Amino acid sequence: MRIGNQNVSNPLFLAPMAGVTDSSFRRLCRRHGAEVVYTEMVSAKALSYHNENTGELLRKHPEEEPVILQLFGSDPDILAEEAHKLESRFFAVDLNFGCPAPKIVRNHEGSYLLKEPDRLYAIVKAVSSAVSIPVTVKIRKGFEDGENVAPDIARAAEEAGASMIAVHGRTTAQMYRGHADWDVIRQVKEAVSIPVIGNGDIATPQDAAAMLQQTGCDGIMIGRAARGNPWLFEETKVFLSSGTIPRRPDISEILDTAMLHAQMIVEEKGESLGMHQMRSHILWYVRGMRGSASLRRALQQISSLEELSNILQLCRQVCGESQVEVDN
Q: Say how many residues make up the chain.
A: 328
Residues 72, 46 contacting (CB under 8 angstroms): no
User: Has 168 been labeled as part of a binding site?
Assistant: yes
The CA distance from 146 to 157, in Å, is 22
The neighbouring-strand residues paired with 14 are 222
Nearest-5° Cα angle at 264, 262 to 267:
110
The CA distance from 127 to 146, in Å, is 30
User: Has 16 been labeled as part of a binding site?
Assistant: yes
User: Has 156 been labeled as part of a binding site?
Assistant: no
Q: Of the listed 29, 99, 217, 319, which one is catalytic?
A: 99
Residues 164, 135 contacting (CB under 8 angstroms): no
User: Has 1 been labeled as part of a binding site?
Assistant: no
User: Has 17 been labeled as part of a binding site?
Assistant: yes
The CA distance from 38 to 40, in Å, is 6
Question: Is residue 319 annotated as a catalytic residue, yes or no?
Answer: no
Nearest to 230 by CA among 261, 276, 264, 197: 261
Helix axes 76-86, 117-130, angle to 10 degrees: 30
Which residues lie closer than 8 Å to 133 by C-beta, 6 or more apart?
4, 5, 6, 87, 90, 91, 92, 93
| DSSP-assigned states of every residue in 119-163 | HHHHHHHHHHHH-SS-EEEEEEEESSTT---HHHHHHHHHHHT-S
User: Has 18 been labeled as part of a binding site?
Assistant: yes
| Exposure class string for 208-243: b at 16+ Cβ within 10 A, else e | bbebbeebebbbbbbbbbbbbbbbbbbbbbebbeee
Which residues lie closer than 8 Å to 2 by C-beta, 6 or more apart?
8, 195
Please give the annotated binding residues for FMN, written as ranges.
Answer: 16-18, 70, 138, 168, 223-224
Please give the annotated binding residues, written as ranges.
Answer: 16-18, 70, 138, 168, 223-224
Q: Which residues are catalytic?
A: 99
